Structure 1
Amino acid sequence: MSSGKADAVLDAEARAEEAPLFAALLTPHRSMGWPGFLAVMAAVGLVNLVGAVIFFSIGAWPVLPFLGLDVLIIFLAFRANYRHARAFEEVIVTPTEILVRKVTWHGQAREWRFNPAWTRLHQTRDDEDGQVLGLTLDEGRRQLDIATFLPPVEREGFGKALTVALAEARRGPVRTHFD
């Protein structure tokens, strides 16, 4: 085999070795989008406005600031909820490593790297209904809980897909040799 062909084969094998077998970006679920938020805030504002008119008309004007405070507290609760939705978890499996990157809603990131040959995925199940309560990557000397904000049904599907990817990574890269 010529040197050029050999280099091309080695480059292709190196790229195949680092190509992700599995990649997932996990984000917290938020059931209400922007239109829903606007609808809820409009409804709360309207109810409080009607209450304010009624209380003002009967001379109970000291109640008005509390009605405004009500709207402000609900707005701040939604704002905090949407901020926390910025957090995410990234899981990438290649034949040579498992990379887990967790980013908080503050933007602080931490990374963990595991060897797929030595890492096992443990699933903690509920005794009553069998739902997956937790997923843990276990490399013997260290463990890492993953997919913590997924609901049990999604966590189970994620666990199955990750198990398949880990098995594929343990088999190693498929080598193709040209004559």
Structure 2
Amino acid sequence: MVTSNREPGKLMIIARPNHSSSWRANLYALLAISVPSLGAAIGFTALGAWPILPFAGLELLALAGALYYVNWKLQYRHVITLSEDSVQIEKGHYHPKQCWRFARQRTGLSIIPQRHPWESPELAVHDSRESVGIGEFLSPADARELITLLRGELRVDSASPRQGRSF
């Protein structure tokens, strides 16, 4: 998903993975699975088959852990801020963990076309010293939207996948 916010002298683009379910919806799904599972486990425990209860609890704990991990991974985002004199890229989950700053006049966008129609093109913002990949988690449609936003702001360098250009 790509969103943008333009203010005078500044463009902020936020790229983040698509997700179909919120954390609250995941908790409701976990609750819907937990009630019958724990109900059956408690019933079998009452009949004397007590080893079922810890395994049911471990199963639900593993499911809760998996749902939390997936939700955490989907909070990852790239924030690209283009001002009049600089381009700043921040990457992180809930707050920036990595940050790069480039001089706007010396910054370009590299687009390496996808190898297969289902893949997204590879995008990188670069200057003469460093290159930073952006939007690797985007769908092809979202990647095209990001390219459209950045084409109006940065010079574009394209390379074919066979040439493999490095910056």
TM-score between the two structures when normalised by the length of structure 1? 0.69
Determine the structure 2 residue equivalent to 1:93.
82
Determine the structure 2 residue equivalent to 1:133.
121
Residue 55 (1) aligns with residue 48 (2): no
Segments of 4+ in structure 1 off by > 6 A? none
Please, which moves more after superposition, 25-34 or 67-76? 25-34
Distance 1:97 1:112 in 2: 10
Which of residues 46, 52, 63 is equivalent to 1:74?
A: 63
Distance 1:130 1:66 in 2: 40
Decide whether aligned partners of structure 1 residues 75 and 131 sit closer, same or farther in structure 2, where only a CA change above 3 A counts: closer
Residue 119 (1) aligns with residue 121 (2): no
Q: Where is the helix percentage greater, Structure 1 or Structure 2?
A: 1
Decide whether aligned partners of structure 1 residues 37 and 94 sit closer, same or farther in structure 2, where only a CA change above 3 A counts: same
Determine the structure 2 residue equivalent to 1:171.
none
Aligned residue for 2:115, secondary structure, equals: coil
Q: Which blocks of at least 5 consecutive residues in structure 1 are unaligned? A: 1-17, 168-179
Larger RCO (CA under 8 A, 6+ residues apart) = 1
Distance 2:14 2:152 in 1: 17
Determine the structure 1 residue equivalent to 2:147.
159
Distance 1:139 1:34 in 2: 38
Determine the structure 2 residue equivalent to 1:19.
9
TM-score between the two structures when normalised by the length of structure 2? 0.73
Equivalent residues of 2:119, 2:139 under 8 A apart: no
Q: Alignment length, in residue pairs?
A: 148
Which of residues 68, 90, 97 is equivalent to 1:109?
A: 97
- % same residue: 22
Determine the structure 2 residue equivalent to 1:142.
130
Q: Where is the strand percentage greater, Structure 1 or Structure 2?
A: 2
Distance 2:19 2:142 in 1: 14
Q: Which blocks of at least 5 consecutive residues in structure 2 are unaligned? A: 1-7, 156-167
The structure with the larger Rg is: 1
Residue 45 (1) aligns with residue 70 (2): no
Decide whether aligned partners of structure 1 residues 131 and 94 sit closer, same or farther in structure 2, where only a CA change above 3 A counts: same
Equivalent residues of 2:17, 2:77 under 8 A apart: yes
